[in-house]
């Protein structure tokens, strides 16, 4: 990836156990989508911050040690990210992404979680009635 280090998208234990091999826990297209979003918005994006002394470590990949979130969450498949985006509220980010959803940098994104204060996006397979990015509520 161009813009992210592995410790920004996995938890501490996964990083300490697997190191750079942890890249393999992700869907490659999800990694490309995260870099693409970063490039499209041209501002800094925070997923996890534990490696910089923060408390967030479950906003990228969620291992089976993760106590939060749904068991079928796309995070557990390495296919989802929760992002804080400098200069944008989550609602603003969702609006901009929807307005430019066919941009090559954004085209891999299929879903965003609505009505939450972070930007959750993932690449879950589109259901038959959806053609492009759609919003869901947990
Ligand atoms: Zn999420």
pLDDT tens for 36-79 read 999 999 999 999 999 999 999 999 999 999 999 998 999 999 99
Report the percentage of the chain scoring pLDDT > 70.
Answer: 100
Phi-psi region of 100 (alpha: psi -120 to 50; beta: other; left: phi over 0): alpha
pTM score > 0.95 for this model? Answer: yes
List, as ranges, residues with CB under 5 A of the ion ligand 1: 82, 120
CA–centroid distance, residue 103 to ligand 1 (Å): 22
- Could you identify the residue written with the tokens 């969450």? 73
Tell me how far the alpha carbon of residue 80 lies from the centroid of ligand 1, in angstroms. 6
Query: If you measure from the C-alpha of residue 60 to the centroid of ligand 1, how many angstroms do you get, rounded to a whole number?
Result: 8
């Amino acid at each position: 990836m161009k813009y992210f280090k592995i410790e920004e998208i996995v938890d501490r234990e996964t990083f300490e156990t697997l190191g750079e091999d942890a890249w393999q826990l992700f869907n490659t297209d999800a990694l490309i989508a995260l870099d693409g979003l970063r490039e499209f918005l041209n501002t800094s994006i925070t997923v996890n911050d534990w490696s910089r002394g923060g408390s967030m470590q479950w906003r990228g990949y969620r291992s089976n040690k993760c106590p939060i979130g749904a068991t079928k969450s796309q995070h557990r498949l390495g296919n989802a990210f929760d992002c804080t985006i400098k200069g944008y509220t989550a609602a603003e980010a969702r609006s901009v992404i929807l307005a430019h959803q066919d941009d090559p940098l954004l085209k891999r994104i299929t879903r965003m979680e609505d009505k939450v204060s972070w930007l959750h996006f993932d690449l879950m397979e589109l259901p038959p009635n959806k053609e492009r990015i759609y919003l869901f509520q947990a």
